[in-house]
């Protein structure tokens, strides 16, 4: 990993584009259920960080490609680490919805 890659922050817009172009990928929003209801990226599944151990109920295949986001990127970074420790091998932190420019769904 080069120095530039080390300092590069995730880009949620690029991450969503990758998700859309990756067959079978899962988009995971690790914010609270209330935050999720207030606005989330279409197609995402809400698995709050505090309940990330429940991911196995939603995605059994630990080789599945996961794209994880939160509000700013801090919780998604924590979630990626925990998911990797749970055995998920293809987990991507795409940052925070605060920087997202696409369509948002509300419930």
Q: Catalytic one among 26, 28, 66, 70?
A: 70
Burial (0-12, 13-18, 19+ Cβ within 10 Å), 45 = middle
CA proximity to 69, closest of 25, 107, 4: 25
User: Is 20 annotated in the active site?
Assistant: no
Which residues are the active-site residues? 70
């Amino acid at each position: 990993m080069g120095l530039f890659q080390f300092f590069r922050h995730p880009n949620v817009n690029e991450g969503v584009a990758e998700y859309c172009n990756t067959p079978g990928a899962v988009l995971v929003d690790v914010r609270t259920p209330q935050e999720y209801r207030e606005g989330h990226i279409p197609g995402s599944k809400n698995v709050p960080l505090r309940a990330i151990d429940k991911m196995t109920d939603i995605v059994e295949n630990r080789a599945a490609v996961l794209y994880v986001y939160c509000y700013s990127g801090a919780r998604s970074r924590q979630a990626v680490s925990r998911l990797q420790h749970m055995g998920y091998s293809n987990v991507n932190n795409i940052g925070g919805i605060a920087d997202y420019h696409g369509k948002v769904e509300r419930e």
